[in-house]
Structure 1
């Protein structure tokens, strides 16, 4: 089993800019496809959405090519999709919004 922890990171420029992720752990078996969700609000007309990963006490890392982002502007949702999960994917994941 693999343990995923989803938390949030916000880079706010205005009070209405925020991200919110469901709390709690997500578990999956090796080889499973995993989707982590993140709702966002932004008062900016141009904004960027990012996902980061942190393993242990290491620095945040941008995600590798096996991970893809699906942005649904109408729902204000950015999903992180991890295909073929591996033990090395066990980490804390953060989404962020920035201008």
Structure 2
């Protein structure tokens, strides 16, 4: 199922500068596989060597953080919007 994927600025070098791309997949894991097939290396910036989301990367399906849903198995229905957002840390 086709979904829109929002790409953060730091990963746009993989997508040729595109801030939004489409991808196919029934869940987040399949979406990331499809992205990596088209934009080689992008998945490695989102998931670690164990295949888990990197600590400082957040992924949302519509407005839901996948970590509070089914993680990479979170369904991505047709027309959904997937957002990849690098976490921001800091403080005083």
TM-score band by shorter chain is 0.3 to 0.5
- The structure richer in strand per residue is 1
Find the structure with the greater CA-based Rg.
1
TM-score (norm 1): 0.40
TM-score (norm 2): 0.42
